A and B are shown apart, each in its own frame.
Chain A
Amino acid sequence: MSIKTKTIIILIILSLTPYIITMGILGNAYRTDIEERVRYDMQNQLDITVDRLDQTLRSLDNDLRFVSSLDVMNDIITQDLDQRIFSLLLLKKNDLNLIGNFFVLDTSERVVASTDIESLGEIYSGPRFEALPIFSTFDERQAGTLLVDYSEENLTRLFPQTDTLRYSMLSSQAALPQDLQRGDYILVERPLEQRPEWRVVLAQDTDFAFSALNRLTRVFFIALVIGVFTIATVAYLIANYIVNPILALSTTARSITRTQDYSQRVAVNRKDEIGQLSTAFNHMISGMQEMIARVREEGENRLKLAQEKDRAEMLQTLSNKLSKYLSPQIYESIFSGEKDVTLSSSRKKLTIFFSDIVNFTGTTDKMESEDLTQLLNQYLDEMTSIALEYGATVDKYIGDAIMIFFGDPHTKGVTEDAVNCVRMAVAMQKRVNELQGEWQAAGFTKPFKIRIGIHTGFCTVGNFGTENRMEYTIIGSSVNLASRIESSARPDSIYLSEDTYLLVKNAFQCIPVESVVPKGLSDPLQLYRVVTMLDEQELIQLDAQGVSLMLEKSQISPQTRQQLQDILQQLDSGSED
């Protein structure tokens, strides 16, 4: 049974129970009370009627006694020759309006006088309602009998004539008439005092007795029917009011279960507990929807992650392999997403580094290729490590030459980039000198010397080539210039262009070297050499008033030495003068 049906039934029962109980109690009590009152009234009326009948009978008895005592009754002896008894009886009959007859019998029961003339002279054999002896007044002997044939009708005609009350005269032994036995009557009865063998029954139709109550009951019943209808309607509405939101919840829940569509919601248009339940349900569904979305997303993410992990592992492997061919900065920039792998380029001011091994071919032509490869690899590996240490971008290896630049993809500023580049170059020179010992110990007797050229200028940097084959590199005249500077440099030296020199002159000691005219340029270019720690042992510097001198002993030719000696001699003679 549904909650709606239960609610309707419960509401109807709850509403009607007090009504029915009240109606039942009142109806029953009222009915009992009415019956008692009716019975009481009937008993009173019956008492009045029976008293009247008794009075009538007493009166009859008195009349008979009086008549029987009259002197005229002596006429029985003369057979009522003068009809005085007859006259008396007739007078009395008329007086009483008697239904029936008086009879006066002599001692032989023969009718001497009677209001029933036909019976005169007959031996009386009729009913004797009452018979009194007649005594002669002169000798007090019984002269005869006075009797009356008294019809019941004499009494029943005294019953009050009403439409609602029904009187019956019955013998005490007689059963009630059939219609009165049906139980549709309220009955009271009382025997006659004068005639105990008779009783009077008074009946009243219950329909009449309870007519007021029945009318009231009908009104109550109609009210009950209307009440039931009204209560049922109200109960239905209340049940709907209570249950419909629950049904909506249930329907939505089933629909969600069936369709797995967690976007469905229950309409909330009330603020009571059911409204709160609906709101809570909606919140729960929202939570579930979010959770499911999250789980789904998480699943997808995990799947993606797994796929990406595989891919990443593969890429990692690939990139590890590729990294060998790329500058770590480029590699990191590309793999961290800082740079798109597209054909694009930008113009930047970079510091470009070139180095190569002086007379590499001549130095290595006698070496076994395996040894050469090992030597070259070690050299490049060491140089690359230093380059990375200083944040350089290793552009490419060209045989024994290395092309490096600073300023892309990461830059610390043009000046700092240039300084870092020179520091790197110095570190490389130092490391190559250290490696010389190792190589000689390994049997490479001919030492490697490297030369380095550095220039700072604008370049175009980016991916060049085709969509299928790209190369991250720099191009421009500055690159060529840097290469030319490197070609111009002497072994174990670092040459800077003037542009670079101006940027690093506060950080490094440099000395100007010969000017060169690079290919494609008409003007000579002033170059500077970085003074390294190795140089400092052979370097003589004097900065005093009137003197600015820097001598590099190893670089001084015999002619220059002679010129210097001449200058000194001139200075000595001049001071002597």
Chain B
Amino acid sequence: MRTLLAAILLLSLPAHAAEYAVVVSSKSTVQSMEIAKIKDIFLKKRSFEGDLRIVPVNPLGNDPARTRFESQVLNMNREEINRYWVNNHFQGVSPPTTQASLQSIKRFIETVDGAIGYLPIDMVDTGLRIVHEY
């Protein structure tokens, strides 16, 4: 029953496009961002935007926002992602910082200069700026 319900939900997702948005602080100078850049930022291939240090932040664990982000933005499943970070760990590169809740992600982005994260669109308010939707 549950499996069926999940399948229905998955099938229903394309019908609700752009539920999540990649956001930065509204005080940031960044207005929009390409998906490739976003991917480089979250895979720590790119750390600066101009002079600004970019600080990516992930929700913890299997949050739906993160799952969706990984599949649609990073275009990688969790196994690929884990393998990626294991490889990079030995080169001194760590995964992005995490926050346990979407609320704390929102506060983190609002507080930390250069912070970038992703949230459901309905959580985005004036303190944030959407640079990408998915």
Contact = CB atoms under 8 A, between A and B. Distances in A.
Interface of A: 71, 74-75, 77-79, 81-82, 84, 136-139
B46 interface: no
A81 B102 CA distance: 10
Contacts of B107: 77-79, 81
Contacts of B100: 75, 81-82, 84
A75 B94 contact: no
B111 A78 contact: yes
A252 B19 CA distance: 143
Contact of A77 (B103, B112, B114): B112
A84 B98 CA distance: 11
A236 B72 CA distance: 120
B45 interface: no
16 contacts: A74-B97, A74-B99, A77-B111, A78-B99, A78-B104, A79-B107, A81-B100, A81-B103, A82-B99, A82-B104, A137-B94, A138-B55, A138-B97, A138-B112, A139-B55, A139-B114
Nearest to A83: B100
Contacts of B114: 139
A138 B113 CA distance: 11
A81 B101 contact: yes
Contacts of B103: 81
Contacts of B98: 71
Interface string B87-124: 00000001011111101100110011010000000000
B99 A75 contact: yes
B53 interface: yes
Contacts of B104: 75, 78, 81-82
B117 to A, nearest CB: 12
A471 B103 CA distance: 190
**A77, A78, A79 — which one has the most chain B CB atoms within 10 A of its CB?**
A78
Given A74-B97, A79-B107, 13 more contacts: A77-B107, A77-B112, A81-B100, A81-B104, A82-B99, A82-B104, A136-B97, A137-B97, A138-B55, A138-B97, A138-B112, A139-B112, A139-B114
A469 to B, nearest CB: 182
By CB atoms of chain B within 10 A, which of A71, A74, A77, A136 has the most? A77
Contacts of B101: 81-82
A71 to B, nearest CB: 6
A79 B112 CA distance: 12
A82 B53 CA distance: 25
Interface string B43-63: 000000000010100000000
A3 to B, nearest CB: 105
Contacts of A78: 99, 104, 107-108, 111
B93 to A, nearest CB: 12
A84 B104 CA distance: 11
| Residue from B55, B94, B96, B114 whose CB has the most chain A CB atoms within 10 Å | B55
A77 B111 CA distance: 7
A148 B101 CA distance: 27
Contacts of B96: 138
A-B CB proximity, top 9 nearest: A82-B100, A81-B104, A78-B104, A138-B55, A78-B107, A74-B97, A138-B97, A82-B101, A82-B104
A71 B100 CA distance: 12
Contacts of A77: 107-108, 111-112
A138 B53 CA distance: 9
A301 B96 CA distance: 155
Nearest to A82: B100
A74 B97 CA distance: 8
A508 to B, nearest CB: 193
A264 B112 CA distance: 133
Nearest to B100: A82
B27 to A, nearest CB: 15
A191 to B, nearest CB: 40
B97 A71 contact: yes
A78 B101 CA distance: 10
B88 to A, nearest CB: 15
Interface core residue of A79, A136, A138 (most chain B CB under 10 Å): A138
Contacts of B53: 139
B69 to A, nearest CB: 18
A385 to B, nearest CB: 184
Contacts of A81: 99-101, 103-104, 107
A77 B101 CA distance: 13
Nearest to A84: B100
A254 B99 CA distance: 124
Contacts of A139: 53, 55, 112, 114
B48 to A, nearest CB: 11
Contacts of A71: 94, 97-98
Contacts of B99: 74-75, 78, 81-82
Contacts of B108: 74, 77-78
Contacts of A136: 97
A46 to B, nearest CB: 45
Contacts of B97: 71, 74, 136-138
A175 to B, nearest CB: 51
Contacts of A79: 107
A78 B111 CA distance: 8
A74 B94 CA distance: 14
